[in-house]
Structure 1
Amino acid sequence: MNTARHQASQEELNMLASLRRQYESKGFSFEMEPDLQGLPDFLQSYVPDAIARKAGENVAIEVRKSRSRASEFSLHQIRSLFDGHPDWTFAVAYAAEDPLKTLTIKPAAVPAIRRQLADVRALITQGQSRAAFLLAWSLLEATLLNVEGEQEARPRTPASVLQGLAMLGRIKPETERRLRSAILLRNAVVHGDLTMEPTEQDVDTLANVIEEALSEV
């Protein structure tokens, strides 16, 4: 297993900075490029990109630029090191190239998000599931931006939106896993696949998740 630390790209550094904010907001300490000497023996020669810690919880974080079959095989090997160590979690974040690097988005207020969410439900009753589905995904990202509290932010991938809401404790891990299967449908609809049609249930699921994420705001 190749565990040599590579030179991080700007996208990966941006992802690490975002992860730092998310973990520290939940009471974790966050260390980038941790010293090998301070790592537990079971990790052998593997050095994660960062470690988040708080009482009884340790998260080893690996940031990858994108997914690949070779990458997934390597991650499977690394993940196996954590077997039998319940106080440690292995987390992977992907920092894919963003074609919208120059675009920044200002967060919306909760009342504005809720008004748009009402529009989502109205579109459902009008039989406009496709429009409602796309608006709901937009509101999911708007919800994350609001929760993070930044003045402005870069556009996110759907997966990173779900990951961010889960890390901030606004949606449950099982909700994140369930919604990941909807990303393919979202991408197909966004990119013009007219053979794919979101159902009313697809939209209702997203709307309920937005309500869940806003419930603590």
Structure 2
Amino acid sequence: MINNTKTLYDEKVKYLAEKYESQGFRVFTEPKTDELPFDLGNYQPDMIAIKDGSGLVIEVKTSLSRVSVDSLLTLAEEVSTHPGWRFLLVTLEDIEAKSLPGTSEQLPSWQKLTDRFDQAHKLIENDEVEPAFLYMWSIFEGALRKRAIDVSIPIERFPIIGLLRHLYSLGELSISQFDLAQACFEVRNRLAHGYIERLNLEVLHDFDNLVHELLREWVNESKIKKLAAILMKRLAKDYQIFNEIVASELGNIDKETKGKILLSIKNSLRQKGLENQFNDLQHLIDESFDSSIVESNNPQLKTNQVILLDKAQIALDTLQGKEQKKIIHTINSLKKFPNCSPLQIANLSSNPNYFIARQGKYRIIFEFQPEEVTIVDIVNHERLNILYGSLKEAKI
């Protein structure tokens, strides 16, 4: 069995290397340290493929059961910080596609998915219930795969069940969304394989609401990311006209979205070593917008005392590098709770005084009392469910 697995692995690596080379890539299998495009710590990829100043860092697995996406997520995020580079996970169980992994995803755009969603509604209006459900499923699955790419989770080619489970465990889907998706998947399979399925209109209605909710959230976040990138490019070209750009680009965007864009700009400046320049940018932005949507050093703003319980401190100490810094930054932001709009905050349904702050794949459990925030625990999404029970998160 071990020899057979090794043979399958070697064949996959050889096949990929030949395919990438045929498309003009320079390919390095099991690259040495001096062949890597940037520092990857102790990690050695199975392959890197480079073309036209961009490239792919590739990990090859023979089976999904051998994959720990959680451990690869930080690596994928690190690779994505380098312009033109992307981390790619390839397994023998990936869905079939004509495109070579990482070169042309052949997925519809967010706009196309939105247009298709409108078309599905026309089928529903014409009482074409089963075709509408199957069409809606294709839109849903396409949205899941695009979301994985957008947030640098290298699972967009996974079979649908693996895709759903990983997106759920990493916090991209809530418990109720995951449960509904699984139920709809079973209905989809029976319809797709030719069986008669008396489709419950309530199920179709719930699934329709789910797809609409995810499209609205993920399309909006995609626009935010693109807009922040546009602003950063323009900023690099001409710093003096930055205020005019912000005024024209953000003039008609709601307060919460503005906060997310400004946070994205701040993070981009930090990655480029320009963190000190953000104060200058903030002054420019404050001339046109309410300064409450960004972090402020206003001494008149009341701040909370932040206390870490032992469990939370131990969890924080186990984190390393950028993950730990992000969590510390989020905890510091809670000094201004509830006036910390860029953060995603939810109630813990089992305790009205407990809240959840989201930072990437992690959740910070904290208790809020007047002028005091107590950090109770720091967990990933999966452990959140295990330790604190079934949750229904309501954004506030």
TM-score after normalising by structure 2: 0.30
Q: Give SS of 2:63's match.
A: helix
Retained in 2: the 8 A contact 1:170–1:213? Answer: no
Look up the match of 1:183: 185
Q: Give SS of 2:199's match.
A: coil
User: CA–CA distance in 2 between the matches of 1:127 and 1:204?
Assistant: 13
Residues 128 and 172 (structure 1), Cα distance of their counterparts in 2 relative to 1, 3 Å cut: same
Residues 157 and 211 (structure 1), Cα distance of their counterparts in 2 relative to 1, 3 Å cut: same
Residues 99 and 147 (structure 1), Cα distance of their counterparts in 2 relative to 1, 3 Å cut: closer
Instruction: Give, as a single letter, the amino acid of the residue that structure 1 aligns with 2:121.
Output: R
User: CA–CA distance in 2 between the matches of 1:149 and 1:122?
Assistant: 29
- Of the structure 1 ranges 172-181 and 161-170, higher mean CA displacement relative to structure 2 is found in 161-170
**CA-CA distance at 1:19 after TM superposition:** 4.8
Residues 100 and 177 (structure 1), Cα distance of their counterparts in 2 relative to 1, 3 Å cut: closer
User: What do the CA deviations read for 1:99-128 (whole angstroms, capped 9, x no partner)?
Assistant: 854545423221111111111111111111
Q: CA RMSD in A?
A: 3.7
Greater relative CO (CA pairs within 8 A, separation 6+): 1
Retained in 1: the 8 A contact 2:148–2:156? Answer: no
**CA-CA distance at 1:171 after TM superposition:** 2.4
Retained in 1: the 8 A contact 2:124–2:132? Answer: yes
**CA-CA distance at 1:11 after TM superposition:** 2.2
Of 166, 169, 172, the match for 1:170: 172
Look up the match of 1:12: 64
Look up the match of 1:88: none
What is the number of residues matched between the two proteins? Answer: 142
Residues 109 and 169 (structure 1), Cα distance of their counterparts in 2 relative to 1, 3 Å cut: farther
For the pair 1:208 / 2:209, whether they are aligned, the reply is yes
Q: Give SS of 1:143's match.
A: helix
User: CA–CA distance in 2 between the matches of 1:103 and 1:15?
Assistant: 23
Instruction: Give, as a single letter, the amino acid of the residue that structure 1 aligns with 2:148.
Output: E
Look up the match of 2:149: 149
For the pair 1:117 / 2:117, whether they are aligned, the reply is yes
Residues 196 and 213 (structure 1), Cα distance of their counterparts in 2 relative to 1, 3 Å cut: same
Retained in 2: the 8 A contact 1:108–1:142? Answer: yes
Look up the match of 1:130: 130
Look up the match of 1:38: none
User: What do the CA deviations read for 1:175-207 (whole angstroms, capped 9, x no partner)?
Assistant: 2023312222111111111x2132333222222
Give the 5 Å matches for 1:40-119: 98=93, 100-101=95-96, 103-104=98-99, 105-119=105-119
User: What do the CA deviations read for 1:119-173 (whole angstroms, capped 9, x no partner)?
Assistant: 1111111111111111111111111122122799765433233224424433212
Q: Give SS of 1:162's match.
A: helix
Retained in 2: the 8 A contact 1:171–1:212? Answer: no
User: CA–CA distance in 2 between the matches of 1:208 and 1:19?
Assistant: 29
Residues 170 and 103 (structure 1), Cα distance of their counterparts in 2 relative to 1, 3 Å cut: same
| Identical residues among aligned pairs (%) | 14
Retained in 2: the 8 A contact 1:189–1:196? Answer: yes
TM-score after normalising by structure 1: 0.51
Q: Give SS of 1:118's match.
A: helix
Gaps of 5+ in 1: 1-5, 28-95
Instruction: Give, as a single letter, the amino acid of the residue that structure 2 aligns with 1:210.
Output: V
**CA-CA distance at 1:210 after TM superposition:** 1.8
User: CA–CA distance in 2 between the matches of 1:25 and 1:198?
Assistant: 40
Q: Give SS of 1:149's match.
A: helix
Retained in 2: the 8 A contact 1:121–1:132? Answer: yes
Look up the match of 2:301: none
User: CA–CA distance in 2 between the matches of 1:26 and 1:174?
Assistant: 27
